[in-house]
Amino acid sequence: MSDDVKQPADSADMKSDIFSKETEGLSQAQIVRKRFFQHKAAMTSLFVLLGIIFFVFSAQSISLGPVKYPGWWKYDYEQISDLRIAECSGGVVGCPSLDVFPSSIDGTPMQIGEHPFGQDDIGRDYFAMVMRGAQRSLLVMVIIGTLGAALGTVIGAIAGFFRGWVDAILMRFTDFIITVPTIVLGSVIGYHFGNLGAVFLAFFLGIFAWTGISRLVRGEFLKLRELEFVDAARVAGASTRRIIFKHILPNAVGVIIVSATLLMSGAILLETGLSYLGFGVVPPDVSLGLLISNYQDAFTVRPWLFWWPGLFIIAVALCVNFIGDGLRDAFDPRQRRGMSRKDKASLASGESK
Amino acid sequence: MSEPILKVRDFSVDFWVDGVWYPAAIKMNFDLHPGKVLAIVGESGSGKSTTALGLMDLLATNARRSGSVMVKGEEMIAAKASTLRKFRGREVAYIFQEPMTALNPVYTIGFQIVETLRNHFDVGPKVARERAIQLITLVEIPVPERAFDKYPHQLSGGQRQRAMIAQSLACDPGLLVADEPTTALDVTIQAEILDLMRGLRTKLNSAILLITHDMGVVADMADEILVMKDGNTVEHGSSEQIFHNPQHPYTKELLGAVPKLGGSAKRILPAESANAAPVLKMENVTVEYPKRGRVPAFTAVKDFSLEIFPGEIVGLVGESGSGKTTVGRAAIGLLPIKAGRLEIVGTDISHATQKELFTIRRHTGIVFQDPASSLNPRLPIGESIGEPIFLAKLAKGEELNRKVEDLLEQVELPRSYRNRFPHELSGGQRQRVGIARALALTPDLLIADEPTSALDVSVQARFLDLLLELQDKLKFACLFISHDLAVVDILSHRIAVMQDGRLVEVGDRDQILKNAKDPYTRRLIAAVPVPDPIEQKARREARLAAKGS
């Protein structure tokens, strides 16, 4: 096909260079991908997040049915070992053995040691606990994000496409859910279902997390359903189902992806908040929020019990937010006309390639 | 000869896109004297608007200007921002295409005129208000005192354009730059606005730089014409010279592509189709948009009756809001009808269910107005074209691909375009895809809803040729909806005229165009500007005389 691509049917249809450049064989998905890849903060965040996920999930044992992966870290999060006392100064116990400064700076050699993140009160390895906690938190984030996005998309799509009384009922129902504060709703859910494990908790939270997305998708559908290609599809004999899923939904995918990403970063904070309040993940399982909650009074003497889980929460939430920002910019056509700093520099110097 | 108010020498504009300078206007040279009208014409993308905006540095930040632009003897190219600000509005005023977006919707038009006045002159609010009311009176908006306190959305399209002209005239500018001032307006309103601008030119002795793609408007207004193509000046001369003795082949081509009212041969309907049963039969059809919340129900079409016979093209004309599009959509069952009877190929679909409509979909096709939104941006065009065939379960897989390629060939697009996405095609190519899709099931009835209104004249001319050729071959009946009488004139066997949801008149093409009975039809035809300065002058005088009497 590449042979006659350069020969349009009629040359007058093709305008000067600048117009043909605009139409240079890139699909919308390719344009979005290109713009996303150019977003430095989002790309960095993406790699950092992927790194964290791989690091966290490979550290502790995972079992999927009969297959059991042992994890590369020597301790399990429930395993109790001897407390480090002799190495620690000031009479505290279980201090971290991680030393990142070379001996030329502080006199001790760089090392990971036996318990890099330290130990908790009874001698459990804190690195293992943080890894396990981060696993739970990430899992909760993904489940809430996917479930919320899926429900929100379907409800918003139906409301926006059919309008009328369907829309009225669904949107009033959405309003009703929005009026109930999430933290209260989460507390009630956590209180009743928290002991079933993190997956169930995430599932029930996800059932109530779709409201924002459904409103956005509804708005998008209201806009898209008036476009002529929808009428064209109807004239072609397409069923309502086909129009919604084949014609309109792919055009709304930008809104959905962006808000789902932002929902995820909200979800990780929601889980943290709930666990902190004691309504989230229940011991002996751990989550990052639970770790912080457990050791909040240890902050002054053993601050590492607070720092490590906090660091992971901030890192994951920031990464997901930056990725969401990058996606939003990539899908937003108004971002297109900007000049890069390099372009501006050569514009100022007046030279052309 | 007097000193020119605008003197442009070697003026170029380039845009910086992805690391390369793209020229948008190249080495422009022209003078404009007070009281004269210079029209810059060209197709979209030729750089006419860029030139107009570039004069006063109103372009985006990635533009570079060079050469010389002198306004009243002062250089504008290297001027400081404060100098430019002083000249904008005071010496050079702009009128834009879309008055709804060019006026600020949260301020009254009076406020916006006063704002312009007080930016440039040291006047109190009271004096400014008086002057603003004078200006509103000058542009002939009824009851100026009340119009002063109206918001843009409370005015009609024509009145909004008048308000914008009043604002641009606030400081008696020496030069008025009008960028497609009447493109968004109906022909009768367009005629009024052009009359107004012509009157102002003689009254205030301002020079006008008119940017337009409509050769009729050019013939009506211009003293001098500058033809642009791809940023280059192709031809520059007096109005008579360009229209009657064009030198450059592009100018000839451009003028040749302009459809002329009453300029095409009579089209004779084959005898057998006149006796056949009608493909589309509408009897006293009424279409209503139902009540929504506090918005009352709106009857868009009342008592509409029309028959279309096999192989016949019927043109449906009317101004915006007259209900043309509603008729087109109702005719293929996209809108339910409230009263009356609607038959397509012998099937009554007045109260058809979705399932019954599904069967008639195979006999109908529609080409939409807007090439930008009528194709799904996420689907390759091959899939869009093949969808009706696929859904009618006539073909799939390899056979479907072959049919799609045949259809592309039929509309003169390369077969390889099958895998392209809509945004990779130009407007004209997209409309061809639209036709290919509409003809995929070889329908008996094709509805064409203003398919050419978004296209340039030369593209439009080829599109119309193609449509005629296909119609000759496939013999479908066609309802061609348009606001452009000249286009309808080329295509139709019969013409139907609509006003305010009612059918005003229907008849043979020649009968309607030359011998219209209804006064509304006559007014509509008289308002169409003809691309010939001498003939247009005669028509204008006749129209004004008819108005006066």
Residue whose C-alpha is closest to residue B128's, from B85, B177, B166, B87? B166
- Where do we find the tokens 């039969």? B281
> Cα(B69)–Cα(B77) distance, rounded to whole angstroms?
6
Asked if B462 and B435 count as a contact pair (C-beta separation under 8 A), the reply is: no
Asked if B175 and B6 count as a contact pair (C-beta separation under 8 A), the reply is: yes
Q: Which residues in A lie closer than 8 A to residue B373 (C-beta atoms)?
A: 227-229
Query: CATH number for the domain including B318?
Result: 3.40.50.300
Tokens at residue B432, please?
């061809």
B 197-256 residues inside an 8 A Cβ radius of A: 230-231
Are B248 and B320 within one domain? no
Are B246 and B280 within one domain? no
Mean pLDDT for the stretch of residues A279-286:
76
**Range of B294's domain?**
276-374+443-517
Q: Which residues in A lie closer than 8 A to residue B60 (C-beta atoms)?
A: 337
Asked if B56 and B35 count as a contact pair (C-beta separation under 8 A), the reply is: no
**Across all residues in chain B, what is the average pLDDT?**
86
Are B173 and B296 within one domain? no
Which pLDDT score is estimated for A65? Answer: 65
3-state secondary structure of B505: strand
Which pLDDT score is estimated for A351? Answer: 47
Which pLDDT score is estimated for B320? Answer: 79
DSSP string covering B271-315, please? Answer: HHHHHSPPSEEEEEEEEEEPPBTTBPPEEEEEEEEEEE-TT-EEE
> Cα(B166)–Cα(B160) distance, rounded to whole angstroms?
10
Which pLDDT score is estimated for B429? Answer: 85
Asked if B254 and B69 count as a contact pair (C-beta separation under 8 A), the reply is: no
Long-range Cβ pairs for the range A300-306 (8 Å, 24+): A301/A92, A302/A92, A302/A94, A302/A95, A302/A118, A304/A95, A304/A96, A304/A117, A304/A118, A304/A126, A305/A118, A305/A120, A305/A126
Q: Three-state SS across chain A?
A: CHHHHCCCCCHHHCCCHHHHHHCCCCCHHHHHHHHHHHCHHHHHHHHHHHHHHHHHHHHCCEEECCEEECCCCCCCCCCECCCCCCCCCCCCCCCCCCECCCHHHHCCCCECCCCCCCECCCCEEHHHHHHHHHHHHHHHHHHHHHHHHHHHHHHHHHHHHHCHHHHHHHHHHHHHHHHCCHHHHHHHHHHHHHHHCHHHHHHHHHCCCCHHHHHHHHHHHHHHCCCHHHHHHHHCCCCHHHHHHHHHHHHHHHHHHHHHHHHHHHHHHHHHHHHHHCCCCCCCCCCHHHHHHHCHHHCCCCCHHHHHHHHHHHHHHHHHHHHHHHHHHHHCHHHHHCCCHHHHHHHHHCCCC
> Cα(A128)–Cα(A124) distance, rounded to whole angstroms?
8
Q: Which residues in A lie closer than 8 A to residue B458 (C-beta atoms)?
A: 12
Q: CB distance A21–B423 less than 8 Å?
A: no
Are B146 and B188 within one domain? yes
Burial category of B473 from C-beta neighbours within 10 Å (exposed 0-12, middle 13-18, buried 19 and up): exposed
Mean pLDDT for the stretch of residues B110-118:
91
Residue A286 has pLDDT above 50, yes or no: yes
> Cα(A66)–Cα(B294) distance, rounded to whole angstroms?
64
Are B328 and B253 within one domain? no
Asked if B343 and B422 count as a contact pair (C-beta separation under 8 A), the reply is: no
3-state secondary structure of B219: helix
Number of A–B residue contacts, CB under 8 Å: 134
Question: Total structural domains in chain B?
Answer: 2
Which pLDDT score is estimated for A342? Answer: 58
B104-136 burial, b at 16+ Cβ within 10 Å, e below that, comes to eeeebbbebbbbbbeebeeeeeeebbebbbebb
Tokens at residue B131, please?
């002057």
> Cα(B53)–Cα(B232) distance, rounded to whole angstroms?
16
Tell me whether residue B532 is in a domain: no
> Cα(A13)–Cα(B404) distance, rounded to whole angstroms?
22
Residue B459 has pLDDT above 80, yes or no: yes
- pLDDT (tens digit per residue) in B197-250: 888 888 888 899 999 888 888 988 899 999 998 888 999 999 888 988 889 999
Q: CB distance B419–A1 less than 8 Å?
A: yes
**Confidence band for A346, pLDDT divided at 50, 70 and 90:** low
Distance of CA B525 to the CA centre of its chain: 16
Per mean pLDDT, which of A26-40, A267-281, B453-467 is the most reliable? B453-467
| Helix (H) or strand (E) run with residue B41 in it | strand B37-41
List C-alpha distances in Å: A146 to A61, A79, A159.
Answer: 24, 33, 20
Tell me whether residue B412 is in a domain: no
Residue whose C-alpha is closest to residue A56's, from A311, A279, A280, A284? A311
Mean pLDDT for the stretch of residues A211-238:
89
Tell me whether residue B221 is in a domain: yes
List C-alpha distances in Å: B367 to B80, B389, B472.
Answer: 50, 16, 18
Tell me whether residue A216 is in a domain: yes
> Cα(B314)–Cα(A344) distance, rounded to whole angstroms?
55
Tokens at residue B548, please?
């006066």
Q: Which of B184-188, B500-504, B529-533 has the lowest mean pLDDT?
A: B184-188
Mean pLDDT for the stretch of residues A274-284:
77
Mean pLDDT for the stretch of residues B266-295:
77
Q: CB distance A232–B378 less than 8 Å?
A: no
Mean pLDDT for the stretch of residues A11-33:
51
Residue A14 has pLDDT above 70, yes or no: no
ipTM value: 0.76
Residue whose C-alpha is closest to residue A248's, from A152, A147, A153? A153
Are B327 and B362 within one domain? yes
Tokens at residue B261, please?
């009212």
> Cα(B438)–Cα(A236) distance, rounded to whole angstroms?
8
Are B245 and B291 within one domain? no
| Helix (H) or strand (E) run with residue B200 in it | helix B187-204
Tell me whether residue B387 is in a domain: no
Tell me whether residue A63 is in a domain: no
Tell me whether residue B9 is in a domain: no
Query: Looking at per-residue confidence, does A85 or A160 come out higher?
Result: A160
Is residue A13 within 8 angstroms of chain B, CB to CB? yes
Which pLDDT score is estimated for A2? Answer: 40
Of A229, A235, A339, the CB nearest to B376: A229
Residue B442 has pLDDT above 70, yes or no: yes
Q: Percent of chain B scored above 90 by pLDDT? A: 12
Q: CB distance B375–A229 less than 8 Å?
A: yes
- pLDDT (tens digit per residue) in A43-101: 999 999 999 888 888 877 776 667 777 777 777 777 777 776 666 666 666 677 676 66
Which pLDDT score is estimated for A91? Answer: 65
Which pLDDT score is estimated for A216? Answer: 92
Tell me whether residue A125 is in a domain: no
Neighbours of B514 (CB within 10 A): 10
Of B391, B416, B428, the CB nearest to A237: B391
Tell me whether residue A308 is in a domain: yes
Q: Which of A274-278, B160-164, B436-440 has the lowest mean pLDDT?
A: A274-278
Residue whose C-alpha is closest to residue B166's, from B125, B195, B131, B194? B131
Query: Looking at per-residue confidence, does B148 or A286 come out higher?
Result: B148
> Cα(B355)–Cα(B311) distance, rounded to whole angstroms?
27
Residue B474 has pLDDT above 60, yes or no: yes
Q: Which of A97-111, B13-27, B45-59, B131-145 has the lowest mean pLDDT?
A: A97-111
Asked if B381 and B440 count as a contact pair (C-beta separation under 8 A), the reply is: no
Residue whose C-alpha is closest to residue B176's, from B201, B155, B207? B207
β-strand partners of B497: B317, B505
Which pLDDT score is estimated for B208? Answer: 92
Residue whose C-alpha is closest to residue B315's, from B511, B514, B507? B507
Is residue B419 within 8 angstroms of chain A, CB to CB? yes
Are B447 and B369 within one domain? yes
Q: CB distance B376–A15 less than 8 Å?
A: no
- Where do we find the tokens 């915006």? B320
> Cα(B549)–Cα(B541) distance, rounded to whole angstroms?
12
Are B134 and B211 within one domain? yes
> Cα(B362)–Cα(B368) distance, rounded to whole angstroms?
17
Tell me whether residue A257 is in a domain: yes
Tell me whether residue B151 is in a domain: yes
**Confidence band for A11, pLDDT divided at 50, 70 and 90:** very low
> Cα(B459)–Cα(A13) distance, rounded to whole angstroms?
7
Q: CB distance B374–A228 less than 8 Å?
A: yes
Tell me whether residue B318 is in a domain: yes
Tell me whether residue A168 is in a domain: yes
**Confidence band for A341, pLDDT divided at 50, 70 and 90:** low
Instruction: List the single residue in B with minimal CA-CA distance to A5.
Output: B416
Residue B501 has pLDDT above 80, yes or no: yes
Is residue B59 within 8 angstroms of chain A, CB to CB? no
- pLDDT (tens digit per residue) in B248-268: 999 988 888 888 777 666 666
β-strand partners of B7: B31, B70
Residue A335 has pLDDT above 60, yes or no: no
Which pLDDT score is estimated for A86? Answer: 65
> Cα(B131)–Cα(A81) distance, rounded to whole angstroms?
91
- pLDDT (tens digit per residue) in A93-139: 667 767 666 666 666 666 666 777 777 777 777 888 888 888 888 88
Query: Looking at per-residue confidence, does A21 or A340 come out higher?
Result: A340
Which pLDDT score is estimated for B59? Answer: 84
Type of residue at B95: I
> Cα(B87)–Cα(B5) distance, rounded to whole angstroms?
12
Tell me whether residue A321 is in a domain: yes
Which pLDDT score is estimated for B114? Answer: 92
Query: CATH number for the domain including A200?
Result: 1.10.3720.10
Q: Which residues in B lie closer than 8 A to residue A18 (C-beta atoms)?
A: 15, 17, 22, 24
pTM equals: 0.77
Best probe of the A interface among B50, B332, B363, B376, by most A CBs < 10 A, is B376
Are B177 and B283 within one domain? no
Which pLDDT score is estimated for A171? Answer: 92
> Cα(B188)–Cα(B321) distance, rounded to whole angstroms?
13
Are B457 and B316 within one domain? yes
Neighbours of B64 (CB within 10 A): 17
Best probe of the A interface among B46, B356, B426, by most A CBs < 10 A, is B426
Tell me whether residue B213 is in a domain: yes
Asked if A257 and A298 count as a contact pair (C-beta separation under 8 A), the reply is: no
**Confidence band for A333, pLDDT divided at 50, 70 and 90:** low
Tell me whether residue A255 is in a domain: yes
Are B192 and B250 within one domain? yes
Mean pLDDT for the stretch of residues A206-213:
88
Mean pLDDT for the stretch of residues B146-150:
89
Neighbours of B242 (CB within 10 A): 27
Helix intervals (H) in B439-484: 457-474
**Range of A188's domain?**
133-334
**Residue B514: CA count within 13 A, CB half-sphere:** 7
Q: CB distance A228–B364 less than 8 Å?
A: no
Question: Total structural domains in chain A?
Answer: 1
- pLDDT (tens digit per residue) in B366-396: 998 887 788 888 788 888 898 888 888 887 7
Which pLDDT score is estimated for B497? Answer: 92
Residue A338 has pLDDT above 60, yes or no: no
Asked if B372 and B426 count as a contact pair (C-beta separation under 8 A), the reply is: no
**Confidence band for A353, pLDDT divided at 50, 70 and 90:** very low
Residue whose C-alpha is closest to residue A287's, from A192, A191, A184, A201? A201
